[in-house]
Chains A and B, each alone.
Chain A
Amino acid sequence: MLHYEKFTLENGLTVIVHEDKSTPLVALNILYKVGARDEDPDKTGFAHLFEHLMFGGSINIPNYDEPLQLAGGENNAFTNNDITNYYLTIPATNLETAFWLESDRMLSLAFTEKSLEVQRNVVIEEFKQRYLNQPYGDVWLKLRPLAYKVHPYQWATIGKVTEHIEEATLDYVKAFFKKWYAPNNAVMTIAGNCSLERAKELCNKWFTPIPAVNVPVRDLPKEPVQTEMRELNVSNDVPTDHIYLAFHCCSRYDSDFYATDLLSDVLSRGKSSRMYQKLVKEQKLFTDIGAYMMGELDESLFVVEGKLVNGISIESAENAIFDILETAKTDVSETELLKVKNKALASLVFSEMSIGNKALNLAYFEMLGNADMANQQENLYNSVSSDQIKAIAKRILVKSNCSILRYQAKQHA
């Protein structure tokens, strides 16, 4: 149970305070409601590149990292298809330094050519390191456009191609900032050794003067219903075959989210799961296999990925996956249900071990609608019935709703 207080500044910034006096530290988390789905199709990877630029100096402060480190703080950030999230932890005595830094970069950036030039290179190296120079690293660059034909989830956060990043201009950087980086498009959480009064005082001093802007109403194209199976076969210089199946499923906002999440758990959570026991241990078709849902804010994907044992044909592996998926449509026992609920509960409890994670959780659920949802998750998972899980399996785990990527090892002569 996370206790918290919530208030909203005049400029629309929502602030959540979770006080914990047992730590000498404070975590500050700022979530901006903008992600890769908000990019132009010919300027992909931009939300993430922009995240890098947020560290390149702000309007009044030439460097973000130096003063933060001088104050004993540590920070990082991540971007996904829906959000961009910045977080830091700092000794409570230096909390004001964090407010100073974060408020200035919410106000405006320095927008220097040098910073853009360098971060373009850094992000291209990140693109290479994580997506191009790793075996199977480009899976999502291929699977997303197979599964989505219209919706911007068709590209990965890193972007479609490095060229989009190379072509980013300073004017576009400025326009992106103006459009999305505003107090009324953010949620801020303060968790740790900071009282509500101190939080309010610091917020008023540093964040209240930042003007609100008109944030555009998001109007993204809805992905049409898929009507037939899509297949893509890739042959590459990798040691073994992998197979990826992506089924369209509900969004994070949907009440079916919890049952869909538990469906993936029934199939593959832990070593006792159906997939692991049947396909890895008994039939020895895969060295590893997993099912999970992406949990994105628009209609999302339910993914199965399997790594084949060398020598197993991809057809038989694929058939075995569909056979297992079939079992979830008719059979989810009460014991199995209790097991995945207990697992979900444990995940929730362990996800709140650090003040940093508490801060992120509160910000995330506030973005979803209400921070209090953080405290309702256990009940929401507990209320799922096995009939619901089976019904969802019947609805989504069908071939006409599936995109298959067969990633095969190139045959060498």
Chain B
Amino acid sequence: MLNRTISPEIPKPEKISIPEPEITTLENGIPLFKVNLGTQDVIKVELVFDAGINYSTAPLIANATNDMLDEGSGIYSSAQIAEMLDMYGAYFQTDCGNDFASVTLYSLSKFIDQTLPIFNTIVSEPNFDKNEISTFAIQGKQRLAVSLNKVDFLARRNFLNSIYGENTIVGKMVKAEHYDALNHDTLSNFYNDRYKKGLKAVVVAGKFTNENIESIKSLIKSLGFSKNDSTNINSEIILNPEKIYITKKDSVQSAIRIGKKMFNRKHPDYFSFSILNTVLGGYFGSRLMSNIREDKGYTYGIGSGLATNLKDGYFFISTEVGSDVCKDAIKEIYFETERLRNEKIPTDELRLVKNYLFGAFQRSIDGPFALADRQKSLYLNSLTNSHLEQYLTILAEITPEKLLECAQKHLDQSLFTEVVVGP
């Protein structure tokens, strides 16, 4: 008779082998990452530039430059570019982070010879046409107007504004007038400075042939873009904890965001803090979820995270809770951060978190796109596979004592900024 009350045995996680990246260095010193894997006949080509938000002199310049690349290039109008890409079922995607911006082509492998030249045009000869910028601004302003009615959006932007400050580009709050200020020259100048002189890496993932790689190499060569050298050194972290309450009348939920500025991935406490964060709010079974959702039912979801940039990072807890239980929810959040500073994590719980994180790590390198993203991210942070090996070692060996110490050092609630948006 089958005994259903007993769990099948769970062995210690197997040693995870991390594939070494396959890198070719192109003439101008730019690395080309290749991940030739998977079952699907698709190719992803991504170009990463030193063109993130941090390099903007005013809000939106970096984002708009990135976003407008495919809105007309060379002799082709925005409509023609879209038509050519759509004809081959290709997708063109842009992304703009704080440090880096990227452009990506997703193509069926069988059409890559047709889609690469279009990609080339988009990247090399953007027009930044006045009319297209005006459409972008109209769309952006209306999206912003909608977002300003969302409690979570308001909480996020006020939180970043508080921890980074109004004088930084990341901390400055975007307003409608910033859309109106965008023009051809600003975008074009940003493009010339940060794209033409800032190609950082090329990533190719999916199923491709040597011929495909040769085509991509000659594309990069024809662009003639140069490489930039950015580094990540931890900047000094100045904390300025504040309590901010923003009224959004009639809202049935309140958004809460609590956290502070932190270090980047190179800090010696990075791994232990990441593991600690998982215990607190980094997975479904986390303490915040167990307490505030699964025990009290105050929210649909609550989580915490550590976001990192080249120079620093920030830690945050975020949730939307019933407005009537907002105070109780905040009390429980601090109860959980304090508990981590006062009591060692029980060994059973730590074992669970470790096993969960080993599984999560395997998922994060499964498949060509996921693996390519991992390798790219390491390179952009001037790290190598040994960083991941080190993580796996620390994950296997970390003790409750070490995590207690880490919590005492980094989860002091008197240093947190607290933002609440509600009725």
Contact = CB atoms under 8 A, between A and B. Distances in A.
Interface of A: 20, 22-25, 59-61, 65-67, 69-74, 89-91, 93-94, 96-97, 99-100, 103-104, 107, 117-126, 128-130, 132-136, 205-206, 209, 237-240, 269-273, 276-277, 280-281, 284, 287-288, 307, 309-310, 335, 338-339, 342-347, 349-350, 352-355
A346 B108 contact: yes
A310 B176 CA distance: 13
Interface string B293-325: 111111110000000000000000000111000
Interface of B: 2, 4-5, 7-8, 10-11, 13-14, 16, 37-42, 78-79, 82-83, 85-91, 106, 108, 111, 135, 138-139, 142-143, 145-146, 148-151, 250-253, 283-285, 293-300, 320-322, 351-353, 355-356, 358-360, 362-363, 366-367, 369
Given A121-B298, A240-B146, A272-B79, A23 B366 contact: yes
B82 A270 contact: yes
B83 A71 contact: no
A349 B108 contact: yes
A375 to B, nearest CB: 13
Contacts of A273: 86
Contacts of A338: 87
Contacts, number: 216
Contacts of B16: 24
Contacts of A132: 252
Given A72-B13, A346-B91, A353-B369, A133 B320 contact: yes
B149 A61 contact: no
Contact of A60 (B5, B8, B294, B369): B5
B365 to A, nearest CB: 9
Contact of B90 (A93, A237, A346): A346
Contact of A20 (B11, B39, B111, B146): B39
Contacts of B2: 205-206, 209
Contacts of B87: 272, 335, 338-339, 342
A237 B297 CA distance: 28
Contacts of A90: 359
B138 A284 contact: yes
B366 A343 contact: no
A125 B322 contact: yes
A90 B322 CA distance: 34
B251 A239 contact: no
A287 B4 contact: no
A238 B149 contact: yes
28 contacts: A60-B5, A74-B359, A74-B363, A89-B363, A96-B8, A99-B8, A117-B297, A119-B297, A125-B300, A128-B253, A130-B300, A132-B252, A134-B150, A135-B149, A238-B149, A240-B142, A240-B145, A272-B79, A272-B82, A272-B86, A287-B138, A338-B87, A339-B83, A346-B106, A347-B89, A353-B38, A353-B40, A354-B367
